[in-house]
């Protein structure tokens, strides 16, 4: 049977993943005997679940991280899923390395009594961002600025194609948070401070992501993660994983609203948030998860926890935490390191009647139905699912989509006659972020927290400027500015992901400032002192506090985190593409304004929500 064969590449690379080269059994297993093609998915799954042992059911409800699980573990514990953390990659991080790894796990899953295929998940949150040379799209805050649902669907489809080309089945995206406080280090994961942008985007992105039938999308993080206040100090995080204190109506109007169109497009999975709503962790919030999500809203996919999030539930033992989470609607636990302990605890809890078998069967049924939907039972191996491997990752068509998204996301905030730039001018380009793919891509790019330098293939803002003008000089620190007609100074934030991007008023080792660094301000000042008009391009995941400096600048453009096709920024600067971006968040004047949003009392931003100039 073709479905039970490994590709030659996979066989050669299996050894990299702690496996002695297991081949799936060619004998008839339970799945092959049930003959999916001769019945409905629902009856097929019902029959399969009825023949499963508790160990096999619990295995389906368990997800481990690739560095902590081998193909032999998949076979022994009947594990239903594996993921990679940010920056956790196989081999040399080539598409064939990914396919070989995933096929090795899949072969082990098929070589069991049941023969149930496993599902592999990854965070492809702005393109297939863990994989070197993939197309890196702008982060969500930039996409929110463009206000283009049609393009969002294309981005979802392009991302799915690159994900599928590496053999991955499941993407933990889109993030549907609504950011209400710029101090939150994950604000760039959100489309904006109002639900309207997410409402218009969520269904279209999910449609594009799931259209091929090869990749499952995930609506996350359910729910209210963008509305948190400061945490309790029980961990190192400041705002992340905090508490959203709102009425149920406000929760529905602001934070649940973006999910509804994702549900209409039958998004396959939902991921719970680390955060709480009115003091209760979402991973144990039965009212919101069971009554609203699965009951009232009719979500019929399955729910996955966030990374090791169950342990943050308040309880004496981890077993108690697991009982609370599973009974509150959790279907699969992301237990990257301690998955064996999870299996032990949940099994004991079921045997002791603390978790009803009906809840276990419901969870497993939901998981298996999505595996059927993905075609994993018919085509589990990478080569069976698609032969469209070569020329997919980072291809020009996908990069063109990303470049268009970059163009449409640029927000012109100030223009004192400096834009559009004259292609015949003598131009100085300066600043830390002008020629750095890593800084322009932000967190969740190759590494979890991102990085600096040429971490992946792409075009920088400097590259784009050089494509438009012939007399261009680059000086990172702004020296040598005298004699130039204009200076483009590109500055902004360093890359960060969850936790590390949070802002605190106290000195904080992992926290980010909401201001430009002294070095960056010195670069701008050096150019100003030379008498050269200055256009500042800000590369950041959120607005920065610039009220004091802005009067000295001749122009200001918010470029957000444009990703691998940052040359699209220059298309706007030179007027080849008419500026159309509008602020997806209010731009605060002072630190006291960072948690004020449009419609709030005392709302006096530097730039209003929806502001954006054109020419």
Helix (H) or strand (E) holding 430: strand 427-430
Q: In what order do the strands lie in the sheet with 81-83?
A: 170-171, 119-122, 81-83, 62-65, 333-334
Q: Is there a catalytic annotation at residue 306?
A: yes
Determine the Cα–Cα distance for residues 417 and 600; give it in Å rounded to an integer.
33
Report the DSSP beta bridge partners of residue 136: 127
Sign of CA dihedral 381, 384, 388, 390: positive
In 3D, which of 340, 312, 313, 335 has the Cα closest to residue 324? 313
Phi, psi of 612 (to 5 degrees): 175, 130
Backbone phi, psi, residue 170, to 5°: -145, 130
Judge contact between 36 and 343, C-beta under 8 A: no
Three-class secondary structure assignment of 286-307: HHHHHHHHHHHCCCCCEEECCC
Give me the count of residues in the chain. Answer: 615
> Strand pairing partners for 125?
127
Closest CA to 323 of 290, 292, 356: 356
Tally Cβ neighbours within 10 Å of residue 454.
12
Residue 379: phi, psi to the nearest 5?
Answer: -135, 75
Q: Among residues 143, 111, 113, which one has the least CA distance to residue 125?
A: 143
The dihedral over CA atoms of 303, 150, 169, 457, expressed in degrees to the nearest 10, equals -120
What is the C-alpha separation between 430 and 520, in angstroms, rounded? 10
What is d(CA 563, CA 438) in angstroms, rounded to the nearest whole number? 8
Element (H, E) at 373: helix 357-373
Cα gap 28→37, rounded to integer Å: 16
Catalytic residue among 306, 384, 436, 554: 306
345 belongs to the catalytic site: no
SS3 content of the chain, % helix, strand, coil (to 5): 40, 10, 50
Of the residues 65, 498, 565, 567, which is catalytic? Answer: 498
Catalytic residues: 306, 498
């Amino acid at each position: 049977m073709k479905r039970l064969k490994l590709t030659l590449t996979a066989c050669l690379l299996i050894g990299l993943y702690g496996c002695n080269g297991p081949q799936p059994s060619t004998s008839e297993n339970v799945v092959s005997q049930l003959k999916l093609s001769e019945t409905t998915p629902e009856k097929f799954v019902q029959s399969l679940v009825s023949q499963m042992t508790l160990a096999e059911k619990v295995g389906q409800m368990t997800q481990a991280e690739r560095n902590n699980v081998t193909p032999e573990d998949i076979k022994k514990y009947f594990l239903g899923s594996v993921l990679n953390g940010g920056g956790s990659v196989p081999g040399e991080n080539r598409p064939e390395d990914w396919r070989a790894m995933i096929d090795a796990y899949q072969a082990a899953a098929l070589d069991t009594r049941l023969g149930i295929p496993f599902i592999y998940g990854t965070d492809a949150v702005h393109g297939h961002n863990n994989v070197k040379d993939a197309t890196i799209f702008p982060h969500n805050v930039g996409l929110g600025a463009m206000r283009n649902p049609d393009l969002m669907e294309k981005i979802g489809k392009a991302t799915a194609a690159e994900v599928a080309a590496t053999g991955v089945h499941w993407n933990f995206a889109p993030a549907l948070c609504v950011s209400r406080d710029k101090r939150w280090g994950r604000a760039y994961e959100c489309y904006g401070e109002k639900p309207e942008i997410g409402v218009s985007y969520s269904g279209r992105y999910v449609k594009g992501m799931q259209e091929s039938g090869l990749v499952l999308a995930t609506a996350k993080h359910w729910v209210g993660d963008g509305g948190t206040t400061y945490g309790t100090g029980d961990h190192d995080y400041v705002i992340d994983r905090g508490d959203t204190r709102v009425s149920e109506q406000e929760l529905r109007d602001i934070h649940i609203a973006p999910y509804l169109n994702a549900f209409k497009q039958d998004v396959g999975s939902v991921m719970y948030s680390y955060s709480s709503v009115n003091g209760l962790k979402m991973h144990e919030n039965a009212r919101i998860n069971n009554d609203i999500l699965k009951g009232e809203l009719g979500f019929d996919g399955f729910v996955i926890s966030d990374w090791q999030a169950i342990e943050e539930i308040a309880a004496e033992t981890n077993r108690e935490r697991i009982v609370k989470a599973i009974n509150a609607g959790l279907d699969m636990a992301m237990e990257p390191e301690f998955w064996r302990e999870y299996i032990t605890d949940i099994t004991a809890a079921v045997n002791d009647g603390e978790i009803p078998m009906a809840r276990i069967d419901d969870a497993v049924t939901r998981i298996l139905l999505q595996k059927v939907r993905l075609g994993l039972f018919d085509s589990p191996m990478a080569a069976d699912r698609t032969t469209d491997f070569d020329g997919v990752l980072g291809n020009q068509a996908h990069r063109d989509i990303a470049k268009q998204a970059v163009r449409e996301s640029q927000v012109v905030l100030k223009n004192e006659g400096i834009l559009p730039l004259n292609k015949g001018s003598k131009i100085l380009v300066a600043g830390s972020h002008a020629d750095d793919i890593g800084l322009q891509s932000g967190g969740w790019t190759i590494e979890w927290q991102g990085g600096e330098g040429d971490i992946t293939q792409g075009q920088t803002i400097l590259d784009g400027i050089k494509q438009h003008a012939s007399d261009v000089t680059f000086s990172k620190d702004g020296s040598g500015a005298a004699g130039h007609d204009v200076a483009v100074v590109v500055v902004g934030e360093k890359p960060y992901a969850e936790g590390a991007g949070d802002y605190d008023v106290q000195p904080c080792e992992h926290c980010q400032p909401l201001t430009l660094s002294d070095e960056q301000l010195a670069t701008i000042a050096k150019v100003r002192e030379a008498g050269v008009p200055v256009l500042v391009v800000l590369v950041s995941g959120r607005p920065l506090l610039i009220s004091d400096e802005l009067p000295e600048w001749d122009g200001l453009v918010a470029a957000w985190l444009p990703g691998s096709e940052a040359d699209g920024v220059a298309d706007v600067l030179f007027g080849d593409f008419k500026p159309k971006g509008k602020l997806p968040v209010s731009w605060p004047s002072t630190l006291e304004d960072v948690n004020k949003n449009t419609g709030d009392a005392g709302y006096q931003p530097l730039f209003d929500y929806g502001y954006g100039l054109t020419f």
